Structure 1
Amino acid sequence: MPHLIIRPAAPHEYDEIARVWMESWVSTGLAEASHFLLANLRARLRREIEDGVSLFVADDNGTIAAMLALHLPKLYLDQLFVAPAYQGQSLGRQLLAFTRTQLPDEIVLRCVRENEKAWRWYEREGFVFEREEIATATGFMMKCYRWKR
């Protein structure tokens, strides 16, 4: 397992972060890579930062291995995506441990219902399912979870 540095993202990295996000999302089998998807994720990343999201990366000697987006005032884990080349190496656990240092008492998140691998992982990590709702931005049915200390 690589030991990576989790640090705040820099604005000049946003395009690369969007690419990692797309590749990870595509690895779920729920989308296909495209210039259109990448452009949407780039725009969404900037919108979410403007809306108060704190963006972090897992840095492997200058290579972005993962991205993590947290909305701290809302106790919200917005995005956690690991690049395919780094999946299966416990990087998600490292990012979740980091999240718990930022949000030590409570974390809420939403996960696409069809992304069973992800929501089952969150359940193993102690998150409790609360409800389902449709994401207005994407149309996906989302499973809503909460973790409390």
Structure 2
Amino acid sequence: MTIDDVLLRRARDADARAAADVWLRSYAAALPTVRCAHDEADVRDWFKRVLVPQYETWVAVRRNSVVGLLVLNGGELKQLYLEPEWRGRDLGDRFMALAKQQQPNGLSLWTFQINGPARRFYERHGFVEAECTDGQRNDEREPDVRYVWQPQS
């Protein structure tokens, strides 16, 4: 598995199921103690009806298999998930460079406070903590943190 074999491209309707499956596996691996607020069918439906057709959704594809996804909604990075075996292989870095290229005026995102690896990843990419909450505004009711990235002027 090399990063050179991976193509980043806009998601197509046909990618929704595979992208949802990556999301489900990645969520389970990265957040084993966080209750997933939606069942697998709801997650797949959300990808099919909302994320792929209505948002700027990108997929990482290797040998016709989706191995990662990035979802942008204007200046908000909504989702960044990788197949667990692709973590630490620079694929996240490629997605982050793409997100900054697509939104050069800045980005914001939310992640769970308990997700230390994600927090370190975002901080390494220049995001700074802007707000912490008790989680009452997210479906999981898990304390979260909002990060903001502004380009250097």
- Report the TM-score range of the alignment, normalised by the length of the smaller protein: 0.7 to 0.9
Query: Aligned-pair distance for 1:50?
Result: 7.8
Aligned CA-pair RMSD: 2.1
Q: Which residue of 1 aligns with 2:131?
A: 131
Of 139-148 and 128-137, the range deviating more from structure 2: 128-137
**Secondary structure of 1:137's aligned partner:** coil
Query: Aligned-pair distance for 1:141?
Result: 1.6
Q: 1:63 aligns with which of 54, 65, 76?
A: 65
What is the percentage of aligned positions where both structures have the same residue? 24
Q: Normalised by the size of structure 1, how large is the TM-score? A: 0.87
Q: Which residue of 2 aligns with 1:116?
A: 116
Of 39-48 and 100-109, the range deviating more from structure 2: 39-48
| Matched AA of 1:143 | V
1:26 is the counterpart of 2:51: no
Quick check: 1:22–1:37 contact (8 Å CA) kept in 2? no
**Secondary structure of 2:39's aligned partner:** helix
Distance between the aligned counterparts of 2:19 and 2:11, measured in 1? Answer: 9
1:40 is the counterpart of 2:42: yes
Quick check: 1:25–1:31 contact (8 Å CA) kept in 2? no
Dislocated runs of 4+, deviation >4 Å: none
Query: Aligned residues, how many?
Result: 145
CA 1:47/1:137 → structure 2, altered by over 3 Å: closer, same or farther?
farther
Of 97-106 and 126-135, the range deviating more from structure 2: 126-135
Q: Normalised by the size of structure 2, how large is the TM-score? A: 0.85
